[in-house]
């Protein structure tokens, strides 16, 4: 059994109507940092992705908006998700101009047996 840090593999996925031309060059790097720090996970296991230029509208009003999914094995839960939501919302406002009230954040706590990696699952690796 390979030794890995406990509860690894966070994934941050953002779908947004923000144009790709307005996504800062370092957005993914800074997002990896933010996610790793708030979840207390090793940066080397965090994956961040953004799908810009989506046809999206929030409540019939034009403007920056988005939907985020944060998937992780552990480090999620009722009380800590409030902190994660604030940290991620602040990051999106600062970097992309997406207001906190124009973005849903879904937290998905994954079972390690349901996450594949390196030809097996985290159930075997952790």
Q: Under a CB-based contact definition with an 8 Å cutoff, are residues 39 and 108 in contact?
A: no
DSSP state of 58: B
Beta strands in 1-126 (DSSP E): 11-16, 47-51, 66-72, 103-109, 116-117, 120-121
As a whole number of angstroms, the distance between CA 26 and CA 80 comes to: 26
Q: Active-site residue 19, yes or no? A: no
Catalytic entry in 10, 19, 42, 52: 10
As a whole number of angstroms, the distance between CA 30 and CA 117 comes to: 24
Q: Under a CB-based contact definition with an 8 Å cutoff, are residues 105 and 70 in contact?
A: yes
Burial class (CB within 10 angstroms; exposed 0-12, middle 13-18, buried 19+) of 88: buried
Task: Give catalytic residues, as residue numbers.
Answer: 10
């Amino acid at each position: 059994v390979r030794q890995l840090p406990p509860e690894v593999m966070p994934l941050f996925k953002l779908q947004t109507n923000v144009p790709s031309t307005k996504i800062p060059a370092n957005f993914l790097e800074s997002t990896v940092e933010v996610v790793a720090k708030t979840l207390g996970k090793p940066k080397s296991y965090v994956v961040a992705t953004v799908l810009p230029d989506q046809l999206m509208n929030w409540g019939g009003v034009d403007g920056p908006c988005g939907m985020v999914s944060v998937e992780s094995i552990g480090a999620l839960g009722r009380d800590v998700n409030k902190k994660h939501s604030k940290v991620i919302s602040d990051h999106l406002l600062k970097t992309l101009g997406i207001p906190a009230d124009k973005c849903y954040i879904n937290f998905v706590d994954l079972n390690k047996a349901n996450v594949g990696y390196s030809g097996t699952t985290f159930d075997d690796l952790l």
